[in-house]
Structure 1
Amino acid sequence: MPEQQLLKPTEWSYCDYFWADKKDPQGNGTVAGFELLLQKQLKGKQMQKEMSEFIRERIKIEEDYAKNLAKLSQNSLASQEEGSLGEAWAQVKKSLADEAEVHLKFSAKLHSEVEKPLMNFRENFKKDMKKCDHHIADLRKQLASRYASVEKARKALTERQRDLEMKTQQLEIKLSNKTEEDIKKARRKSTQAGECRAPSRPAQCAQKERAWG
């Protein structure tokens, strides 16, 4: 069966490592896919907060800009001017007031169509997370316990393998020593058998055989 292709091979993505462990970027250890998913979720909460602050700041800028434009449009400078210059100046101040209105409406739209829905989403997300917090915490404990059990079993297996290798080596040494003793014994018997073929030494050979067993 071919190896499954990663969805994001160049990234450290939880979508590829949900069911498997992956070494952390520093190579100091492994991170479970569940932890990657949890970190992604926590980063999502932080991102929501940062987005809300960004939109709120943008609304404030638009409101302040609109207020300043409106204030500037009320400036009494050259208000008594007549003729074409007076008309042109009045048109400039009117354009400032119109632009202030545009920015004010834009800030209101940002509030109603962006900030408010985002705030509602955050609140609903918090409520949903609060409901799941206890269950998730329980699952994390179970997961941590199982990882600990697997690690304990792995260490026990390593110890047993080491013990088995040691006993195997000892057995091999013992068998090797026994084989050498058997060879020496066979050589002695062979030598004895050769000597016993001589007609003059049968009694001595019988005595040696009893001694060597």
Structure 2
Amino acid sequence: HPLQGDKNHGFEVLYHCVKQGPVATKELADFIRERANIEETYSKAMAKLSKLASNGTPMGTFAPLWEVFRVSSDKLALCHLELTRKLHDLLKDVLRYGEEQLKTHKKCKEEVLGTVDAVQMLSGVGQLLPKSRENYLSRCMDLERLRRENTSQKEMDKAETKSKKAADSLRRSVDKYNSARADFEIKMLDSALRFQAMEEAHLQHMKALLGSYAHSVEDTHVQIGQVHEEFKQNVENVTVDMLLRKFAESKGTGREKPGPLDFDAYSSAALQEAMKRLRGAKAFRLPGLSRREGISRGPSPVVLGSQDALPVATAFTEYVHAYFRGHSPSCLARVTGELTMTFPAGIVRVFSGTPPPPVLSFRLVNTAPVEHFQPNADLIFQSDPETKDFWLNMAALTEALQHQAEQNPTASYYNLVLLRYQVGLRGPESVPLQMSAHWQCGPTLTRVSVEYSYRAGATAVSTPLTNVQILLPVGEPVTSVRLQPAATWNTEEKRFTWKLPDVCEAGGESQL
């Protein structure tokens, strides 16, 4: 009990205990930081293991299984990388709490200064009390000794006076002690309650942080278990007969056995082929560069029941932002884009059921022109920035789809933006719309003309530009306006708007 004990050390013990709170917070931060480093190291090691599997020999019947190893290693690397990210976020919360904790302790230290003074006062009075008691005891013994020795009355009077003074001094010391003790008890009780409230809040916050830590680790272990289960299933699905058949299909040299040859027939056919080549010899030609179209990588990875596959579609949408200055033909252009994945409505039931959904992943290729990627950190994670491999957080994906289903229960499909990207600044050749503006400003008259035209070659296929609008803000009061062609006026935004017909290559140059 903080108020018990003859040495009154309760305050010192409690205050020392409270001071250990920030120490515990710092040690927890160090522990989480070290665990994050371990997870990051493990993730990098699994990524290296994935590359090792990618470099497995493509020859032989075992070759297809290396892809199973690669995918599993990639997903395990991403599991540990995601745990690393969660631990770093948790570490930020711990450090933030540590800073708030120091501020709280500083404020508390100022608030308990009165208790410190009360402790010191009680200690000082407590040290004087034995001296006063010993002095009183000594005077009483002197008086009793003089009485026994039949000392003169004068000496007896002096001794009695000293004894009374010693008694008065002891009484004042006792009163001071009782007063200091009463003040100490009031302030000590207040400080003890304050310390107890601080410790309770500290322990509750620390337990909440530990709960977040345990939840993050548990989620990762569940994901790792799913990856291992998927790996085991994939290995079981690839049978020996399947491996042998795939090898035979890819490396086979034919399905029919060669028959015996007749010399006369064979030599006659060879002679005819030689004569045909001689007669048909003409100028040679170089093959042109071929263009590969995007193709499906196989069946849908999401299966309903035992046979029905649910389609998962992706789409890239790109935007061209251009900045034209005056009548200069040059401009600054920036291309941004986003990758959207579309899921059918029925997939919510599949993802929410048992067994757990497969972990979806994808890889982006031909990304050299892209200078910046911004993945949706809530939905996808990146394993290796060099290969642009991504995989989806299935728990977050299911939650996002369920949210869309609640918002729009009659929708047949749901769209989710997975990442955005930016291509570097380009010149006017990448902008399908060429513009230039001319201003003539005078004291009472302002003339503005805008010339625009379609730029062929900016896109792979020349397509007319639709829904083109040109906005002209007007800041000063206008008394008279002449527009060619007509435009609409927005009073609130104080601007003119021209809605143009489709801009195409055949339209040539136009003017406002």
User: How far 1:117 moved relative to its partner?
Assistant: 2.5
Moved more, 131-140 or 50-59: 131-140
Letter in 2 for 1:121: Y
Confirm whether residue 66 of structure 1 aligns to residue 43 of structure 2: yes
Name the residue aligned to 1:158: 134
Once the two structures are superposed, what CA deviation does each residue of 1:143-170 show, in whole Å capped at 9, x if it has no partner?
A: 21331122212322233224323433x0
Over 3 Å counting, the alpha-carbon distance change for 1:45 and 1:164 in structure 2 is: farther
Which of the numbers 107, 118, 134 marks the counterpart of 2:84? 107
Q: Secondary structure at the match of 2:62?
A: helix
Aligned residues: 151
Write out the 4+ residue segments of structure 1 that deviate beyond 6 Å after TM superposition: none
More strand by share: 2
The alignment's TM-score, normalised by the length of structure 2, stands at: 0.27
CA shift in 2, pair 1:43/1:31, >3 Å: farther
- Once the 2 structures are TM-superposed, how far is the Cα of residue 39 of structure 1 from its aligned partner? 0.8
Aligned residue for 1:133? 109
- Compared CA separation, residues 172 and 82, structure 1 to 2 (3 A): farther
Query: 2:146 matched to 1:174?
Result: no
**1:33 and 2:10 are equivalent in the alignment:** yes
Provide Cα deviations, 1:27-74, integer angstroms capped at 9, x if missing partner.
xxx461000101101122211111111111111111111112112211
Task: Give the match's secondary structure for 1:74.
Answer: helix
Task: Please give the alpha-carbon distance, in whole angstroms, between the structure 2 residues aligned to 1:34 and 1:83.
Answer: 77
Partner of 1:86: 63
CA contact (8 A) 1:78 1:86 kept: no
Shift in Å at residue 134 of structure 1? Answer: 2.9
Change (3 A) 1:174 1:137: same
Instruction: Specify the code of the residue in structure 2 equivalent to 1:71.
Output: K
> More helix per residue: 1 or 2?
1
Contact 1:59-1:110 at 8 Å conserved across structures? yes
CA–CA separation in structure 2 for the residues paired with 1:70 and 1:136: 55
Residues 31, 58 of structure 1: alpha-carbon distance in 2 compared, 3 angstrom cutoff: farther
Structure 1 unmatched ranges of 5 or more: 1-16, 23-29, 176-213
Find the residue that maps to 1:18 and give its secondary structure. coil
| SS across alignment from 1:81 | coil
Counterpart residue number, 1:5? none
Q: Partner residue of 1:185?
A: none
Question: What amino acid does structure 2 have at the position aligned with 1:36?
Answer: V
Corresponding residue for residue 117 of structure 1: 93
Indicate how the Cα distance of structure 1 residues 57 and 173 shifts in structure 2: closer, same or farther if over 3 A, else same. Answer: same
Q: Which residue of 2 aligns with 1:19?
A: 3
What is the SS of the residue equivalent to 2:115?
Answer: helix
Q: 1:146 to 1:87 in 2, by over 3 A?
A: same
Contact 2:33 2:91 in 1 (8 A): yes
Shifted more, 76-85 versus 158-167: the winner is 76-85
Distance in 1 between the 2:101 and 2:52 partners? 48
| 3-state SS of paired residue (1:58) | helix
| Contact 1:66-1:103 within 8 A present in 2 as well | yes
Contact 1:52-1:115 within 8 A present in 2 as well: yes
The CA distance in 2 between the partners of 1:101 and 1:77, in whole Å, is 16
| SS of residue in 1 equivalent to 2:112 | helix
Query: More deviation in 71-80 or 117-126?
Result: 71-80
Q: 2-side partners of 1:33 and 1:79: how far apart?
A: 69
Aligned to 2:29: 52
CA distance in 1, matches of 2:105, 2:69: 53
Shift of the alpha carbon at 1:20? 1.9
- TM normalised by structure 1 equals 0.61
Partner SS state of residue 75, structure 1: helix
Cα distance change of structure 1 residues 151 and 79 upon mapping to structure 2, 3 Å threshold? same
Query: What is the CA RMSD across the aligned residues, in angstroms?
Result: 2.5
3-state SS of the aligned residue for 1:70? helix
2-structure distance, mates of 1:81, 1:35: 72
Deviation at 1:138, TM superposition (A): 4.7
Amino acid at match of 1:140: V
Tell me if structure 1 keeps the 8 A contact 2:53–2:67. Answer: no
Cα distance, 1:89 vs structure 2: 2.3
- The separation in 2 between residues aligned to 1:98 and 1:166, in whole angstroms, is 94
Paired letter, 1:116: K
In structure 1, distance between residues paired with 2:139 and 2:38: 73
Verify the 8 A CA contact 2:53 2:70 in the aligned structure 1. Answer: no
User: What letter corresponds to residue 83 of structure 2 in structure 1?
Assistant: F
What CA distance in whole angstroms lies between the structure 2 residues aligned with 1:158 and 1:82? 103
Cα deviations across residues 121-180 of structure 1 (Å, max 9, x unaligned)?
211111112223333345313421331122212322233224323433x046336xxxxx
